Amino acid sequence: MSKALRILVPVKRVIDYAIKPRINKAGTGVEKTGVKFSMNPFDDIAVEEAVRIREAHKKLVENIHAVSIGPTKAQDILRTALAKGADTCTLIDAKETELEPLAVAKILKQVVAKQNANLVILGKQSIDDDCNNTGQMLAGLLNWPQATNAAKVEIDESSLVAKVTREIDGGEETISAPLPLVITTDLRLNQPRYATLPNLMKAKKKPMEKMTLADFSDVSTEPRLQVLKLEEPPTRSAGEKVASVDELIEKLKSVKAI
């Protein structure tokens, strides 16, 4: 393999993390009209990591390519990725089709081949469907090693081996794997930079390739799952202030909590 890194960063357009999602009237999905959308936060971390890898290994990184499969408006998050440091991007216009992770992973596999990418950095999960599937499925389809839930990534320039510290229950695990590799990002990997206005202006001049699902006609987009029902979590009853520890103990006894 030539000593060059071609990084692919898949980014998904999701309802902004700061917005409390509301269930639609039919109870089958989340209300999307009039709601702010942004880049999935874990994907923002993935873009940042790709840019930091370039900053650490200036000559090694040949290209950072962002890709989004989603509605036409997903171009906004691609522009943000370009403003933060991606060089090129592809919008795969899926109109309003909601794709499941397996279909996304199959499409991404083809994008990996087209971009000749040897490192894919995805978010560990999309905050809308909370699937936490796509990175693992992509690694399986590519038959590449995977380092999920990354909290630290180091790449050795001479061997092109990545050392990845992963967040696991109650601690950390450090693994190493040769490229090509799939990495998924965890929250503590980095603190993403903001896209500045001048960089957002410059991003308008960077290339955005446009494709549609028809360009991936060999990939089935038929859903395998059907959402039967969505429910809001039960509303919590109001709290009560007490004046002293004694009163607290009395209250707890009265509701048989102690």
Task: Tell me which residues touch ligand AMP (CB under 6 A).
Answer: 10-12, 40, 42-43, 68-70, 99, 101, 104, 122-123, 125-126, 129, 131-135
Is residue 124 a contact partner of residue 167, using CB atoms and an 8 Å limit? no
Least Cβ distance, residue 240 to ligand AMP (angstroms): 39
Q: Where are the alpha helices (DSSP H) in 15-87?
A: 41-56, 75-84
Q: Are strands 88-93 and 61-70 parallel, antiparallel or unpaired?
A: parallel
- Compare residues 90 and 118 and give the one whose CB is closer to ligand AMP: 90
d(CA 5, CA 117): 7
Nearer to ligand AMP, 97 or 174 (CB): 97
* Nearer to ligand AMP among residue 98 and residue 157 (C-beta): 98
Give the end-to-end CA distance of the chain in Å, rounded to a whole number: 65
Please identify the residue of the shown chain whose CB is closest to the bound ligand AMP: 123
How far is residue 217's CA from residue 211's CA, in Å, rounded to a whole number?
12
User: Which residue lies nearer to ligand AMP by CB, 132 or 176?
Assistant: 132
Query: Which lies closer to ligand AMP via its Cβ, residue 187 or residue 200?
Result: 187
How near is the Cβ of 89 to ligand AMP at its closest, in Å? 11
Cβ neighbors of 102 (< 8 A, separation 6 or more) are 133, 137, 224
**Cβ closer to ligand AMP: 58 or 224?**
224
Least distance to ligand AMP from the beta carbon of 67, Å?
6
CB-based contact 5:118 (threshold 8 Å):
yes
The H or E element that residue 252 is part of is: helix 245-254
Task: Report residue 149 as tokens.
Answer: 């839930």
Q: Least distance in Å: CB of 105 to ligand AMP?
A: 8
Minimum CB separation of residue 246 from ligand AMP in Å reads: 49
| Strand order from edge to edge, sheet including 208-212 | 171-178, 161-168, 146-156, 181-185, 119-123, 5-10, 61-70, 88-93, 208-212
Q: How far is the CB of 26 from ligand AMP (least distance, A)?
A: 22
**Distance of closest approach, residue 242 Cβ to ligand AMP, in angstroms:** 42
Of 208 and 248, the one with the shorter C-beta distance to ligand AMP is: 208
- Residue indicated by tokens 């971009």: 115
